[in-house]
A and B are shown apart, each in its own frame.
Chain A
Amino acid sequence: MSLTDTYPVWSWNPVTDLRAMWAFPFMVNAFRAGTVVAILAGVIGWYMVLRRQSFAGHTLAQVSFPGAACATLLGITPVVGYFAFCVGAALVIAAIPRAGQGGSGQEAALTGTVQAFGLACGFLFVALYKGFLGGINSLLFGSFLGITTTQVAVLTAVAAATLAMLALIARPLLFASVDPDVAAVRGVPVRVLSVAFLVLLGTATAATSQITGTLLVFALLVMPAATAQQLTARPAAGLAVSVLVGLAVTWTGLIAAYYSPYSIGFFVTTFALGVYALARLARVLAQALARRAPASVRLSGSAV
């Protein structure tokens, strides 16, 4: 099943290439899972970036590693560990009072301690579970090639449930994220929404980290969303761009990883950073043009 010695060659005929790639059931599963993950992470990540909770998102993503390691140590399926630890950590972070937008250093210190301790626990579990050490890299960096059909089904169900929940609270959450003070005055339950969002974020990271590995969940959460927020301020358009960028980098990353000996994570993060850099550049250029355009209009007007 593994592609150890020889790597397939890209033939410049996309139809035959895709057909050859999808002849392998694991590649089909990787594409299915990647699609679901990109949509889920794109939507949740957009809200995460909007709420400036990247650090919390990163911590939740890291905590999935001890979750999986603990479940393996106890002899139960890692899925349980992923969800238990991610949702648990989400509740811990939600219990920390938020001091304004972005939070204070003290709050960040606690979040950081939670994260480092969680990872240290993961390392302990791995050390206690001998023979697991070979799998630690795939746990941390993910392996797209080993996704089973059952995992895809679970992932799809969780993603659908998470997105449905998010759709339910989408409007008040948007209000509470953009202006928490005004939202609170208007009677929006800001605190409850904040807890609910963190739990959804935890669920999404747990679902995603089974596929991409602990360390790279964050890439799919933050980069497409950051790209979208460079390009548009409108929520609907932003969500669409975020999902589309996520899909594009996941698919191209999968294809690149299939044709090379290097890991999927490297390609996905590199493509995502490239798109983000292009989006920033586009924004800078657009602003420069916008500054010049009125001047030129005025000049031509005066000439007439």
Chain B
Amino acid sequence: MSVFTAFDHPYFTHALLAGTGIAAAAGPVGYFLVLRAQVFTGDALGHVAFTGGLAALALGYDLRLGLFAATVVFAVLIGALGRRGRSDDVAIGSVFAWILGLGAFFLTLYSTRGAAHGTAGVSVLFGSIFGLSAGQAGVAALAAAVICASVALIARPLLFASVDETVAAARGVPVRVLGLAFLVLVGACAAEATQAVGSLLSLGLLAAPAGAAHRLTARPYHALALSGGLAVAEMWAGLGLSYAAPRLPPSFAILAVATAVYLATLFTVRPRRGRTMTSRAVRGNVPGRPRL
């Protein structure tokens, strides 16, 4: 089977277009998520996407409207309620356990209304990237481009604020606003990724390439690009794998490739203790400004 036969199918090219955009957005956002130790928040936002998506379906709106509205509102809520601190983990956990219960409520509401809706919950939870129309794929790519541009726009001050919040605040960087803006980006990204791999698996797309990039390089801008590049490559490999072996669902194939790459970096690359970005930046802080 030639590789190029895949491109004869419109569903594959749509998936490739949407998937590339989504992965390119998830990589850099995930890098910051890992850097700021907010992976649990990303997890919570993925679950919020599930509830939002099903709420929109149950109330008769477009799925994407629910995805983006719910995740962005919840992100603002998290950002406004608490400083980013360890103590808030429990509050986040409590709220998102309830969000899931609410999702179960909307699921029964939606699936009892018509017999054909029985699998809607499954496709929101686990994604259906091979089922995207041309219009959906275009919107997904556009939204991903906006997320990427926003990340690029705030990358520099956000890096500073993530590595050393106190010094950044003292230097006049608007740490709180940046944190809030970043959470909104994470929310939008979780909503985006839900269309590709589902709300439950969006965490993997955020965490795995970023974890690998963290492992491979200590230089932040290289790592940002590497995280995005890895995510896109993993997305392509996963889509190709799933096309070649139709028994593998695309969500599984993408996640399997991403996990394999991360595990490979975990076992082959030793973490460079002395030269991690944090210690470099801290050392840089002593005489003057950190070299970010």
A interface list, Cβ under 8 A from B: 49, 52, 54-55, 58, 62, 101-106, 108-113, 115-117, 119-121, 123-124, 127-128, 133-134, 136-137, 140-141, 215-216, 218-219, 222-223, 226, 229, 261-263, 265-270, 272-273, 276
Q: A120-B255, A127-B249, A262-B108 are in contact. Are A219 and B207 (CB under 8 A)?
A: no
Residue pairs across A and B with Cβ atoms less than 8 A apart, 20 shown, are A102-B89, A103-B37, A106-B211, A108-B37, A108-B40, A110-B266, A115-B203, A117-B258, A117-B259, A127-B247, A127-B248, A215-B104, A216-B100, A216-B101, A216-B104, A218-B97, A219-B101, A223-B97, A226-B93, A268-B101
Q: B residues 92-132 with Cβ under 8 Å of A? A: 92-95, 97-98, 100-105, 107-109, 111-112, 118-119, 121-122, 125-126
A216–B105 alpha-carbon span in the complex (Å): 12
B100 near A105 with CB under 8 A, answer no
B210 at the interface (CB under 8 A from A): yes
- If A110-B262, A123-B251 are given as contacts, then 4 extra A-B residue pairs at C-beta distance below 8 Å, sorted by A number, are A55-B40, A112-B203, A216-B100, A269-B97
B249 near A116 with CB under 8 A, answer no
| Residue on A nearest B44 in the bound complex, by CB | A58
B interface list, Cβ under 8 A from A: 33-40, 42-43, 47, 86, 89-95, 97-98, 100-105, 107-109, 111-112, 118-119, 121-122, 125-126, 197-198, 200-208, 210-211, 214-215, 247-249, 251-252, 255-256, 258-259, 262, 266, 271
A54 near B256 with CB under 8 A, answer no
B214 near A266 with CB under 8 A, answer no
B204 near A112 with CB under 8 A, answer yes
| Residue on A nearest B95 in the bound complex, by CB | A273
A269 near B258 with CB under 8 A, answer no
A223–B93 alpha-carbon span in the complex (Å): 8
B101 near A266 with CB under 8 A, answer yes
Q: Which residues of A contact B47 (CB under 8 A)?
A: 215
CB distance from A48 to the nearest CB of B (A): 10
* A-B interface contact total, Cβ < 8 Å: 190
A266 near B248 with CB under 8 A, answer no
Tell me if A's interface is mostly helix, strand, loop or mixed.
helix
Q: Which residues of A contact B104 (CB under 8 A)?
A: 141, 215-216, 263, 265-266
B100 near A215 with CB under 8 A, answer yes
A110–B214 alpha-carbon span in the complex (Å): 11
| Residue on A nearest B247 in the bound complex, by CB | A128
B98 near A219 with CB under 8 A, answer yes
| Residue on A nearest B47 in the bound complex, by CB | A215
Q: Which residues of B contact A124 (CB under 8 A)?
A: 248-249, 252
A272 near B203 with CB under 8 A, answer no
| Residue on B nearest A219 in the bound complex, by CB | B97
A263 near B105 with CB under 8 A, answer yes
CB distance from B107 to the nearest CB of A (A): 7
Q: Which residues of B contact A263 (CB under 8 A)?
A: 101, 104-105, 107-108
B94 near A55 with CB under 8 A, answer no
A109 near B207 with CB under 8 A, answer yes
A113–B201 alpha-carbon span in the complex (Å): 9
A270–B106 alpha-carbon span in the complex (Å): 13
A215–B247 alpha-carbon span in the complex (Å): 26
A141 near B39 with CB under 8 A, answer no
Q: A55-B43, A127-B252 are in contact. Are A105 and B36 (CB under 8 A)?
A: yes
B40 near A123 with CB under 8 A, answer no
Q: Which residues of A contact B121 (CB under 8 A)?
A: 137, 140
B200 near A134 with CB under 8 A, answer no
Q: Which residues of B contact A226 (CB under 8 A)?
A: 90-91, 93-94
Q: Which residues of B contact A215 (CB under 8 A)?
A: 47, 100, 103-104
| Residue on A nearest B207 in the bound complex, by CB | A112
Q: Which residues of B contact A128 (CB under 8 A)?
A: 247
A52–B40 alpha-carbon span in the complex (Å): 12
B97 near A123 with CB under 8 A, answer no
Q: Which residues of B contact A272 (CB under 8 A)?
A: 94, 97-98
B97 near A116 with CB under 8 A, answer no
B210 near A109 with CB under 8 A, answer yes
Q: A55-B89, A133-B119 are in contact. Are A112 and B252 (CB under 8 A)?
A: no
Q: Which residues of A contact B252 (CB under 8 A)?
A: 120-121, 123-124, 127
